[in-house]
Amino acid sequence: MTKKYGVGINGAWCKGCSLCIGVCPKKVLELSDRMKAVPARETDCVGCRQCENICPDLAITIKEVE
Ligand code: SF4
Ligand code: SF4
């Protein structure tokens, strides 16, 4: 069974730098019109945590979900 992941983004901490959007191999993230990263395709997330690691503001938390 394939694992599923929840992509949590703290909008108050996100400054819209787009680093996470560029690093994601599955194109899960997009920039909203309010210039915040949002998990537009969360079901495509493979849990690699590259976005979590690259975010300079620690705004992303990846969690495995049941
Ligand atoms: S890397 Fe962090 S601060 Fe930059 S857009 Fe993504 S969530 Fe926001
Ligand atoms: S954990 Fe990996 S696949 Fe999931 S949103 Fe972050 S970079 Fe993309």
Measured between alpha carbons, how far is 3 from 40 in angstroms, rounded to an integer? 18
Range 10-28 average pLDDT? 98
Domain ranges in the chain?
4-65
Residue 6: pLDDT band by 50, 70, 90 thresholds? very high
**Who lines ligand 2 at CB under 6 A?**
5, 7, 23-26, 28-29, 45-51, 62
* 4-65 carries CATH number 3.30.70.20: yes
Q: Where are the alpha helices (DSSP H) in the chain?
A: 19-23, 50-54
Q: Does the pLDDT at position 1 exceed 80? A: no
Residue 39 is encoded by which pair of tokens? 């998990």
Residue 53: pLDDT band by 50, 70, 90 thresholds? very high
Residue 35 is encoded by which pair of tokens? 């210039």
Q: Does the pLDDT at position 32 exceed 90? A: yes
pTM: 0.95
Distance 29 CA to ligand 2 centre (A): 8
